[in-house]
Structures are given as C-alpha cells and as structure tokens.
Chain A
Amino acid sequence: MKQRLISILLLLVLGGCQADSPTSNGTLRDRETLTVSAAVSLKDAFNEIGDLCEAKTGKAISFNFGASGALQRQIETGAPVDVFASAGKKQMDELAAKDLIDAATRRDFARNTLVLIVPRDSKLNLTAFPDLTESDVRKIAVGNPKTVPAGQYTEQIFEKTNLQDRLQSKLITAEDVRQVLDYVVRGEVDAGIVYMTDARTAGEKVRVVAAASEDAHEPILYPVALVKDGKRKQSAREFLDFVLSAEGQSILRKYGFIGVSEK
C-alpha cells in the first residue's frame, strides 16, 4: 500500500513537471510569437520592453536569454529566432560574416560599463581593480573569456593594466555574467566583475566598489539585428524600432544602460 502511494505521488510530481514545460504551449500560438534571443544582461530591461511592446502591437514576444556566444551557436545551427541582441560586437560580426543576420537592420542600441563588486558583508577594502592582487583576495569571478563578452572585456582591462598574469590563479570563470553575480551574492567568491546593470539588479546584496574607465576596454556596445531566416519580419521590425524609440531607450536607462544617443 505504502509503495503504491509513493508511486502515485511520484507520477503526480513527474506529471506536474511535464505540464510546466514550454513545449506544451501549442504550436498555433508559436507560429505568431516573435522569438528574441538576447544576452542575459538584458533580461530585466527586455522583459519590461517586451511587455510594453506586446501591449502596443498586440503580438506575443518570447525571449530566449543566455550567454551571447551560446545564442550565436543556436542561430548558427538553425534555431528559429527572429531577433538577436548581443552583449558583444564579436558574436554579431561572426553571424554577419556567415550571412545569417540582416546586416541592413543592425544597430547599436545601448552601452554598458563594467564594475567591480563584492558581497554585501565583505570585509575587504577594495577600491580599484589593482587591489585585486592583494593576498586576502582569493577568488575573483569573471565571465569565461572564451564565450562571455563580459569576460572578454574583463580580460582587456587586466591585460591593459598588466594584472592578467598576477590574477590568473584567482580567477573563477562563469558561463554567463549572471552566474558571476550569483557567485558574489552567495558569497562564494571575494569579488566579481559584472556589468553595472547586473550589479543594479542585485540591489543591496552586493556593493559596487569600482568602475572600469571607458578607455580600459573596447566600448561595450549592444548590437541588435534581425535574423535572416526569421519568419516574423514585420513584428521583428516593430520590436527593433521600439527598442530604439525614446520609450525603449528610457527603459534601458532605468536599468543602468547608457543610451546610444548620449555620450
């Protein structure tokens, strides 16, 4: 009897998981839904932009957030994506070189800055990037430079200031920039390097102790473009226009991005 009860419970749990899976949405709706692949650092801003844009155009939008490099691979392998918003120029350039995006629609729509953060209860006295070489800083989380743009910019800062070799053994590489933030929030590392916008989403849980100077790395530009094989060109264009509109830009600014018109 006991055994049977547990198997029923198990079935319920498993059944519950299945009902939650995104594939159960039905295909009819999927045909209409605009799919936007966006860098994970855009998550909160794009969710708000998406809600407003949906209300305005009446067309459903679904977001696929992830590391820009991973999103790029998905598009290369033929994922049904309409719009790609990357946190790095490199990923967009590579897609452009393979003729997978509609180059005429490409725009830089936002800028970001890199900051050094520590857990809220950190006892370290860090005020600038070179302080990371101090011996009581043992673990520093950074994006994986092979796949994460934030990691590539971080590497540029370290190389420019000759810190790379001295810090190498302390670096903990994460698979996307939100994971860096998570490691800092959880206190698993002593410090981390994330975008200003990510530090802001964590609120009180982390402290920003330094910002990278603008010339320490390439400008952190966010390019967006339509994917060439995208099926929903019209709503994709509307979304792109909305992101670049005054309304879209003010939402981006609210989350800590720098608009493209300002300098």
Chain B
Amino acid sequence: MIWESLKLSLLVVSVATVIVGVIGLALAFLLAKREFRGKELLDAVLTMPLVLPPTVTGYYLIVLLGRRGIVGSYVYDLTGWTIAFTWQGAVIAAVVVALPLMIKASRASIESVNPSYEIASYTLGKSEFETFFRVTLPLAKRGIYAGLVLSFARALGEFGATLMIAGNIPGVTQTMPLAIYEAVAAGDERQAQILALILTMISISAVYLTNKISRSRIYG
C-alpha cells in the first residue's frame, strides 16, 4: 500500500505538473500581456480552486466530466471511456487545484519584467513570440520555477476533488493522501504514520526549494 500509493502519487503529480506548467504559462502570458474583456473575471474563475473547498471543485468536475456530465456524456458516447476511477481522473483533479498557483506566480513575475528590455528586442526586429521566449521568460524564470514547485506540492497534497472524481481504488487512484485517509479510517496507525511522514518530507523539500529559488540570483 505504501509503495503502491507513493508510485501512483509520483506518476499523477509528474504528469499534472507538466500539464500545469504548459497551460499555466500560456494563461499567465495571456493575463499579463493581453488586454481583453473579462480578463480579471477569467483570472478570478481560474483562482477559484484555490479558495473553494476541494469537494466543490470535485463536484463541478463530476457535473462536467462524469459519465452523465455535460462534457463527459459525449466522451462516453463517442469512446465508451469515462474519467471516473482512472488515474487520469486523479491527474485532472490535481491539475485544476494546482493551476492557480502556477498562474499567480508566473503572471506576477512576467508582469515584473522591465518592458524596456522587450521593447529593445522589438526594435532589433524580433517577433513577439521570439521576444517572449528569449527575453521575457529568462527574466521571469524565478517566479515560474517557484510556481512549478508550488504546483507540484499542491498536486501532491490533493485529496477531496480526487476522491470525488477518481474514487479510492488501490493501485489505480489511491494516491498518498487517500491511502492515509483509508489507513486512519481502518485504524492502521503505523501505515498512516509512515505515509504522513513521507508526504511531509517531500512537501517540506518542495517549499524549501521554492524559497531557495526565489532568493537565488539570476544568471544569464
């Protein structure tokens, strides 16, 4: 149970962090560099999973992606596949709750890049795309790394939404937080202790790393 849930947690969290990194960065760029109607509303909606109870997030995911859900029913009719009780369900739950952290951290650090560097790049004939990747990103990388590590830690700790959308199936969706919940409910104190300790150590390392990154100096 310990090894199985640790392995699963690491798989779910790694996949989720990659997805959060890509989507989060794209959204952060959009929010930092573009002006459009409802921009701050979009930001508020994307931030919701940070403040809503995970059970509410989980409920929305069921309504949206469940077998009889708004989107989920089409997916089921087309493919016969449904998100419930799959490790992909756990990934989706982790992505949704971790995304706000990535967006917040990256948006702030993209916005704090001195625009004169970007303008200089444009005057030298570089496209907006190239400027973003070769000027803005390298200058904003501390905040982006911090966002990634925080998202990793948040995804690792995800419990409520995962339980609701993915269920608690050993070896399939039973990540470490769920394994701890079950161990405590079943009165298996020892297992709960070991799992809690491992999870705590990984999380402390992640936050420590975040602080380290935010304090380090930028080279290149």
Contact = CB atoms under 8 A, between A and B. Distances in A.
A38 B185 CA distance: 16
Interface in A180-194: 183, 186-188
Given A10-B44, A173-B169, A174-B167, A73 B184 contact: yes
B62 interface: yes
B41 interface: yes
A10 to B, nearest CB: 7
B67 A147 contact: no
A187 B167 contact: no
B82 interface: yes
Interface residues of B, number: 22
B185 A69 contact: yes
Nearest to A6: B44
A73 B185 contact: yes
Contacts of A175: 163, 168, 181-182, 185
Contacts of A254: none
Contact of B85 (A2, A69, A188): A188
Interface string B59-76: 000100011100000000
A228 interface: no
Given A144-B182, A147-B182, A10 B66 contact: no
B82 A147 contact: no
Nearest to A145: B186
B51 interface: yes
Contacts of B67: 186-188
B125 interface: no
Interface in A153-186: 172-175, 183, 186
A146 B85 contact: no
Given A6-B44, A188-B66, A188-B82, A172 B167 contact: yes
Nearest to B163: A175
- Most A-side CB within 10 Å, residue of B51, B62, B167, B181: B167
A183 B168 CA distance: 12
Task: Describe A's contact surface by its main secondary structure.
Answer: mixed
A186 B182 contact: no
A9 B66 CA distance: 29
Contacts of B128: none
A67 B168 CA distance: 15
A151 B170 CA distance: 15
B40 interface: yes
A14 interface: yes
A236 to B, nearest CB: 25
B220 interface: no
B168 A173 contact: yes
A139 interface: yes
A172 B66 contact: no
A70 interface: yes
A144 B168 contact: yes
Contacts of B186: 69, 146-147
A187 B67 CA distance: 7
B67 to A, nearest CB: 5
A130 B168 CA distance: 25
A3 interface: yes
Nearest to B174: A173
Contacts of B182: 144, 146-147, 175
Contacts of B40: 2-3, 6
Interface of B: 40-41, 44, 51, 62, 66-68, 82, 84-85, 163, 167-170, 181-182, 184-187
Q: When A and B form their complex, which 10 residue pairs have the shortest distance between CB atoms, in order from nearest?
A: A146-B186, A188-B84, A147-B185, A187-B67, A2-B40, A6-B44, A70-B185, A188-B67, A147-B186, A187-B68
15 contacts: A6-B40, A9-B44, A69-B186, A139-B85, A144-B168, A146-B185, A146-B186, A147-B185, A173-B169, A183-B84, A183-B167, A186-B66, A187-B68, A188-B67, A188-B84
